[in-house]
Amino acid sequence: MSTVGTALVTGAAGGIGAEVARALARRGTPVAAVDSDADRLRATVAEARTAGLPLTAYPADVREGAAVRELVDTVERTLGPIDALVNAAGVLRSGEARALTEDDWQVTFAVNTTGVFHTCRAVADRMVPRRRGTIVTVASNAAGTARAGMSAYGASKAAATAFTKALGLELARYGIRCNVVAPGSTDTPMLAALLPDDAARRSTIGGVPEAYRVGIPLGRIADPADIAAAVLFLISDDARHITMQHLTVDGGATLGV
C-alpha cells in the first residue's frame, strides 16, 4: 500500500473507526481522528501517540454541516491535503419498527446517513481540484438483508451505501474512488450492547431461526481489524481500479448475497 498523504476517519474514538485510524497510522499515514465524544477520542488518540502513531484528535459532530466544513478546513491547514476519507461514525437505535420513536429514527439517520453526506461533500470539494482521493463508507450487512429490530439502522446504512455509490459515479471523472465496506457482527462496544453475554454471542454465531437469521458460517464474530483490513485495501493502490463497489465482511452471515 502506498502512503496516503492524510486520512480523515470519523467515529475514531472506538470500535471499527479507532482500528481503521490505528491501522492507517501504522503505515505512516497522518490521521485526523474525528468523533463527537471528545473525552473518549482524546484518550484513544493519546494511547496511539504513546505508541508512536501519528493520530491527531479533532472532536466534531458529523451531524452539523458547518462544523464539518470547518473541521475539513482545519485538518487541511494543520495536517495537509486529505487523500482518504473513512466514514465510520455510526449509532444504533434498536427495536421493532413500530416501537421506535421519532428521535430514534432522526438520530440514526442524522449520524449514519446525513453525517456521511456532510463529510463526503466537504472532503470531495477539496479532492476534486487535486483530481485524486478515495472515500470508504463503513455501512452494514443489515443494509441489504432484513434484520428484526434493526429497521432504522439498516435503512440508514442502505441510504449511506446508495449515496456513496452515486458519489463514486459523479467523482470518477476526477480520479476519485468511492467504495463501501459492509461489516456483519463485529466485536465493538455497539455489539456488546446487543450481545451482553456469551450465550447471546453463541446464538449469533449459531443462528436464530425464530428471528429468521442464519448464523456465521466461518464460526466467529469479526474483530475490528478484519474490517480495517478491508478498508485499507480499498484505500490502497492495489484497489486503484475499484470504485462504486460493496465489500461485505461478515463471515458469510448473509450467504454471499
Q: What is the pLDDT of residues 184-203, one digit of tens each?
A: 999 998 888 878 888 889 99
Interval 204-221 mean pLDDT: 93
| DSSP one-letter string for 36-75 | S-HHHHHHHHHHHHHTT--EEEEE--TT-HHHHHHHHHHH
Which helix (H) or strand (E) element contains residue 154? helix 151-171
The catalytic residue among 58, 153, 174, 212 is: 153
Buried b (16+ CB within 10 A) or exposed e, 203-222: ebbeeeeeeebebbeeeebb
**pLDDT confidence bin for 3, thresholds 50/70/90:** low
Cα dihedral: 189, 195, 196, 199 (round 10):
-140
- Do the beta carbons of residue 160 and residue 137 sit within 8 Å? yes
Q: Which CATH superfamily is domain 7-184+222-244 in?
A: NAD(P)-binding Rossmann-like Domain (3.40.50.720)
Asked whether residue 164 carries a pLDDT value surpassing 50, the answer given is yes
pLDDT of 2 reads 53
Quick one: which of 9, 16, 13, 11 has its CA closest to 188? 16
Domain layout of the chain by residue ranges: 7-184+222-244
**pLDDT confidence bin for 74, thresholds 50/70/90:** very high
**pLDDT confidence bin for 242, thresholds 50/70/90:** very high
Interval 89-105 mean pLDDT: 97
Instruction: Tell me whether residue 58 is one of the annotated catalytic residues.
Output: no
pTM of the model: 0.96
pLDDT of 1 reads 46
Which residues 6+ apart lie within 8 Å of 133 measured at CB? 82, 83, 84, 85, 123, 124, 126, 127, 175, 176, 177
Query: Cell numbers 465489500 correspond to what residue?
Result: 247
Least confident of 71-80, 138-147, 193-202: 193-202
Residue 105 CA to residue 162 CA, distance in Å, equals 18
